[in-house]
Structure formats: structure tokens, C-alpha cells
Amino acid sequence: MSDAAQLQKVLDRIDADFDSSLERLFTLLRIKSISADPAFAADCRAAADHLATDIATLGLSAEVRPTDGHPAVVAKSNGKSGGGRPHALFYGHYDVQPVDPLNLWHRPPFEPVVADHPDGRKIIVGRGAEDDKGQLMTFVEACRAWKTVTGSLPIDLTIVIEGEEEVGSKNFVPFLEKNKADLSADFALICDTGMWDPATPAITISLRGLVYDEVKIKAANRDLHSGIFGGGAQNPIRVLTRILGGLFDDDGRITIPGFYDGVKDLPPDILAQWKKLDLTPERFLKPIGLSVPAGEKDRLLIEQLSSRPACDVNGIIGGYTGEGSKTVIPAQASAKVSFRLVEGQDPVKIRKAFRDYVTARLPKDCSAEFGDHSSAPAIALDWNMKPLAAARRALTDEWGRETILFGSGASIPIVAEFKNRLGLDTVLVGFGLDDDNIHSPNEKYDLRSFHKGIRSWARILGALAEMPKA
């Protein structure tokens, strides 16, 4: 049987078996594997057990392995084949975000259903429907179809699925280091990213880094009455808003000295490609109720979102925030501030530059305390690596549209860990859409994303098997 005929049989099998694929996804979605809340530790363990049992049916030796936190699933091809087949490490995560605020969900988050989107699309609704249970199951189901049709997988495979991605993978990274010999492969595959749009497949070829800091400004040694002290006593909210309010100039540039050091402009040919993508405010911002790009005025919106660094205050609190009013000058006020970094920016230097910026602006009576939440450098992947080229061809075949290579504004810190600890480049393929509400109430995954996602991976596995040897 020709490779093409064999692939067609695999794809036909996926279509025929799709209702069962969906039922298997629902079984996984019903497990309340919220990693952030210790009350759900047993559910996390149950998700790992379930996945190990399921993945074992693909002909892999699968087991649940402990970490210092929630366990990880590791599954491997039984014995390395002699033929020098490519060996991929597939990574996913079974843990999900908390479901608060629960009252904004239209139905219980762990009772998944297929529903009708107002615009006619069929959608799978539930916590984890996209991030990352739905996405990782596209890969598992693609493997299942290959196994069913051909009796084996077309490439050598190691699957690792962790349970703490949503809480920063802090136990998984040491696990990776400890098991690095056992997790060796030729390259990594991750399904945790998005399409360009609902019709256009995409591979993510860069990821922004992240520096997440917390700053607390302290002034008086206790809360004060603003009638008695107002006008004479320093107010830490005044100091904090003045400092944070100065982070951007009138052109949307971040004002921290040295912030843009090392940041390069896009090569002209890539900028030209991105211009052609025509990511307009109308298209990207209108669905969220906005119309004006908020970043550097002299940059395209797509640059602001992916190739340029950014800063957001993610939270701020100080003084009285309940109902009604209280005439208080609080003793302290604090904010959570994060920076999205691009290639050339050093997270350590950026964090220091931010803290220096704050400290330099403190009036004499105020002090600042800082807290370090997380840090990851930006990642720029090799556009010309062979597995990426193979995946790109396969995606274009499945979707009938040229695959877009684009930079993501988000951070997937594990990609840097794979590079630095295991020496692996990663191919980032995913089928998420901008309106999936990940991390939010009413998370969904398009039924089409799930179905064509499985078909896409089936094609990618075939293409990887045919990849020219190095």
C-alpha cells in the first residue's frame, strides 16, 4: 500500500471513529484536575492514571511517575526501532485552571457538552476543552488511528504529560532534569497553541518571555484618617499610581531605562510577510470591544502582540475597596506587574531595571518591597528545522490553506527547558482560537478544531516519518 493510500485509511478511520474520540475526551474533561487547589490533588492523580491507561492502548509502555507535586505520565515506544526512525517527544498537560468565578459559567465546568455557538459553529464546552485536554487528545487520537490502521506508530515516540503547567511547572522542571536521559528524543512536539484564524493553520515560531514581579509600596506605619492626615501624610496609592502611570510615554513606549536594549527589528522580509497577514484592529480587537492598538504607535498591531516586548499591570490593590466609602490613607498599596519579553532581552536585567525604576521614584518616606513570581526568556525557534517543515506541509494539506508561521505573544516556558536541558527544538502546533476563553468561564474548543486537529496530527506523523534524514 502506498504511503498516500495508507494515510487516507488513517484519516478515514479518524472520521469513522470521531464519536468515540469525543467520548474519550469527555471522560478526561470530567476529571476535575485543577492543579492550583490542593483539594483537587486526588483528581489530578486520577487524570494521570486515566491517561496512562489510555495511552498504553497505543502500544506504548506508559506509567505514572511521581514528582514533588502532581504526578507526570511518561509513555515510550517499546524499544527503539533499528531503522533510525525519527523520535519525537510529545508534551502536554492534564491540569486545568481553577473555575472561578463559577457563577459566570453557563453550565457546570466539568460536565462537558457539545453546544451550538451563536454563529453556528459546534463547540465543546467545559474547563480544559481546549487548554490542554482537548489539544493533547488531538495527538493521542491521531496516534490511535495510526495504531488501529497500521498496527504501529509511524515514528518513535515518547509522550510526557505533566500536571502542573497551570501553576508554573515548578516540580516538573526538576523532574525533567532528573529524567533527561530517559526523555531523550530528536525534537519535541507540543499542542498548546492556536490557529491563525478558524480557517488557517499556524505554527508558532517564537514565544515571548515573561518577567512577573510584585511591588508593594509602604508609607505610614498604620492606616490613617484622611481628614486628620490628608494633605500632610504621604499616600502609597498616590506614589504607586504615579510610578506605574509613568511606565508608558505618549507613544505607548515603555519608559524604563534600557528596557529595549537588545531588541531587534524584524528582518524586512518577515515584516513584509506579516504586513500581508493584515491583522487589523477591526479583526483582532473588535471582538473584545476595543478598536485602537495600545502598544507602540509606530508598530503594526501584529508586532505589538508578538515581536515587541510589552508591559501589563495585572493587578493593583490598596486602601478601602469595599462598598461605600472610607476616608482612609492606607499604610501600603501593591501591584502585580508583568513584562512580555522578546529575543535579546534578559529577564534578570529587565527585572532589575523595573525595580531600579521604581526605587528611583520613591519619595523619601516610602519604601518598596518586591516579589518575584516568574521569569522565562523569549524563544525564537529555527524556522528551517526539518520537523517544522514537515508539519507545515501536513497542515497545509489538511486545511487547504498555506500554514502561517507566526510569533506568539504568550510564553510557554517549557520550550526553553526542552532546549536548555534536553537539547530539543520544539514544533508548536495547535488548534486553539482567539475566542476559546481559556483560563476564563465557558472555555470551549471548536468541534472542528478537535476533529481536524486529530487529522492534522495524523498527517504530521506521516510527514515526520517521511522526513529526509539529517
**Of 52, 75, 159, 219, which one interacts with its own copies (CB under 8 A)?**
219
Q: Could you tell me the three cell numbers for 178?
A: 532528573
Residues 6+ apart with CB under 8 A from 367: 217, 218
C-beta of 170: minimal distance to its own copies in Å?
11
Binding residues for its own copies restricted to 334-373, rule: CB under 8 A: 335-336, 338, 340, 363-365, 373
C-beta of 54: minimal distance to its own copies in Å?
29
x-marked contacts with its own copies along 164-193 as a string, rule CB under 8 A: ---x--------------------------
C-beta of 123: minimal distance to its own copies in Å?
16
Q: With binding defined as CB under 8 A, does residue 136 bind its own copies?
A: no
CB 159 within 8 A of CB 73: yes
Q: With binding defined as CB under 8 A, does residue 268 bind its own copies?
A: no
Residue 126: C-alpha distances to residues 28, 108, 183 (Å): 11, 8, 31
User: Residue 384 and residue 44: Cα distance in Å, rounded?
Assistant: 38
Handedness of CA 375, 381, 386, 391 (dihedral sign): positive
Q: With binding defined as CB under 8 A, does residue 85 bind its own copies?
A: no
Is 373 exposed, middle or buried, given 0-12, 13-18 or 19+ CB atoms closer than 10 A? middle
Q: With binding defined as CB under 8 A, does residue 251 bind its own copies?
A: no
Binding residues for its own copies restricted to 275-314, rule: CB under 8 A: 284-285, 288-295, 301, 304-305, 308-314
Q: With binding defined as CB under 8 A, does residue 439 bind its own copies?
A: yes
**Of 180, 283, 326, 352, which one interacts with its own copies (CB under 8 A)?**
326
Please list, residue by residue across 237-255, b when 16 or more beta carbons sit within 10 angstroms of its beta carbon and e when fewer do. Answer: bbbbbebbeebeeeebbbe
C-beta of 401: minimal distance to its own copies in Å?
21
- Measured from the CB atom, is 92 or 462 closer to its own copies? 92
C-beta of 332: minimal distance to its own copies in Å?
11
Residues 6+ apart with CB under 8 A from 352: none
Q: With binding defined as CB under 8 A, does residue 237 bind its own copies?
A: yes
C-beta of 56: minimal distance to its own copies in Å?
34
CB 208 within 8 A of CB 301: no
- Measured from the CB atom, is 154 or 194 closer to its own copies? 194
**Of 233, 380, 385, 389, which one interacts with its own copies (CB under 8 A)?**
233
User: Residue 304 and residue 290: Cα distance in Å, rounded?
Assistant: 15
Residues 6+ apart with CB under 8 A from 376: 209, 210, 347, 411, 413, 416
- Measured from the CB atom, is 181 or 360 closer to its own copies? 360
**Of 222, 298, 382, 469, which one interacts with its own copies (CB under 8 A)?**
222
x-marked contacts with its own copies along 374-393 as a string, rule CB under 8 A: x-------------------
User: Residue 294 and residue 305: Cα distance in Å, rounded?
Assistant: 10
